[in-house]
Amino acid sequence: MSRYSKIVVAIDLSSESTIILKRALDVAATESEIHLVYVQEPMDSVYMGVVPYGPVFVGIDEVEENLKAELTQKLDGIGDEFDIAADSRHFLHGTPAREIHRFAEEYGMDLIVLGTHGQKGVQLLLGTTANSVLHGSNCDVLAVRIFAG
């Protein structure tokens, strides 16, 4: 089996993130370039349906910045644990599937690795993000099934 040389590992910073990263390392060549990606969705787009007019609430930018700082620490912690170079850890902002596609194309990735909760039923086979990444990708995608406890 040929190994991948440029791999982007999209994680959600949950406890399952290490499982996904380990699987990516399993299919990587010794000299592979591994990039860790986390995508933060803008809070105003997440809560847009809740409050249809105006800003969701005053201070949303500050909340987002505080959350970004906390999540960046988590990303760095996972990167440190697996010896992923600091310049190969990427904190992106936007719609997850779109940003993962953009990153993979921009950096010429061979493989995208991400997790999916293998729930029952055809529609639930892949999560929304995993499904969108799979169907819009120009490179191979490895969806790592995460089993619910």
Give tens-digit pLDDT for 65-122: 888 899 999 999 999 999 999 999 999 999 999 999 999 999 999 999 999 865 544 4
Domain, as residue range, for 59: 4-146
83, 28 Cβ separation under 8 angstroms: no
Tokens of 98: 């779109």
Residue 38 DSSP symbol: E
pTM for the model: 0.83
Residue 118's domain is classified under what CATH number? Answer: 3.40.50.620
Cα-Cα-Cα-Cα torsion 132, 136, 139, 141, nearest 10 degrees, comes to 20
Percent helix / strand / coil, the chain, rounded to 5: 40, 25, 35
Q: Which of 100, 74, 103, 78 is nearest to 22 (CA)?
A: 78
Count of structural domains, the chain: 1
From the number of C-beta atoms within 10 Å of its C-beta (0-12, 13-18, 19+), residue 21 rates as: buried
pLDDT at residue 26 is higher than 50: yes
**105: helix, strand or coil:** helix
Give tens-digit pLDDT for 28-43: 988 999 999 999 988 6
Which range in 1-5, 17-21, 52-56, 65-69 is most confidently predicted, on average pLDDT? Answer: 17-21
Query: At which residue do the structure tokens 């995208």 appear?
Result: 112
